Amino acid sequence: MKKKIRLGVNVDHVATLRQVRGDTTPYPDLLHFVKEAVKGGAEQITIHLREDRRHIQLKDLAQLSKHRPVPLNLEMGATPEMLKFARKYRPDWVCLVPENRRELTTEGGLDVVRRKAGLTPLIDKLQRFGIEISMFIEPSREQVVASFEVGADAVELHTGRWVRLTGAAKQREWKRLAEAATLAHSLGLGVHAGHGLDTQQAKLIRRLPHLREVNIGHFLVCEALKDGLKASVRRMKGILEGR
């Protein structure tokens, strides 16, 4: 049977366009673009409610939690404030990510090894709300094992470093990704991946062992400037399906 990879479309940068005018315009309508992504084949919508609210706002989370045509994946920092929002809005998935206000985008993975004691009760609470949990981590053995130990349902392997590398260094990083994916699967964790993926990288990442989900945002929104989000998502779906 052919391997199916779920495509999560991250719509943060639709909200970025609205926020660069200080949220004073009624456009772009986030829900419209969510629907377009779903028409193109998105099987999940991903949003990151950042501490500094540079793109997604609380009102977006409220709206998408009410009108979700497909499962909603909320990327969030592991903080009491975010736990409160997850409890209120009940996304289908929470992807726990590190938060650093100064970073341009999420630059490294969550250090689950170091934060194990705090993460275990937080994950337990989220799961009691019926939410599944993935951990956005660097592809290392230690982080995968720690993710298993804190009770996560899945890991999202950070592809940001691999995407930028070339040649032998890229091969070495691929090996780390593949080993982390194999280990995660053997521990019963779902294998997700994301960050910096474009057409070329997606053609490669689909070969990652046990891959069940990718989350892609920036590239799809940029591509949408040419011929719309539905078309850019549809092309990406085709790539993930090997067409």
Catalytic positions, written as ranges: 48, 75, 195
CB nearer to ligand PXP: give 33 or 219.
Answer: 219
d(CA 222, CA 220) in angstroms, rounded, equals 5
CB nearer to ligand PXP: give 2 or 143.
Answer: 143
- Tokens 């779906």 sit on residue: 237
d(CA 44, CA 177) in angstroms, rounded, equals 23
205 touches 160 (CB < 8 A): no
Cβ-based neighbours of 56, under 8 Å, separated by 6 or more: 12, 15, 47, 48, 49, 50
Task: Indicate the SS3 state at residue 203.
Answer: helix
Tokens of 49: 């409610």
Tokens of 14: 């639709």
CB nearer to ligand PXP: give 8 or 183.
Answer: 8
Q: Residues interacting with ligand PXP, by CB under 6 A?
A: 10, 12, 48, 75, 95, 97, 105-106, 136, 156, 194-197, 215-219
CB nearer to ligand PXP: give 46 or 65.
Answer: 46
CB nearer to ligand PXP: give 2 or 193.
Answer: 193
Cβ-based neighbours of 41, under 8 Å, separated by 6 or more: 7, 233, 234, 236, 237
150 DSSP assignment: T
d(CA 46, CA 44) in angstroms, rounded, equals 6
Nearest distance, CB of residue 144 and ligand PXP, angstroms: 16
Nearest distance, CB of residue 211 and ligand PXP, angstroms: 14
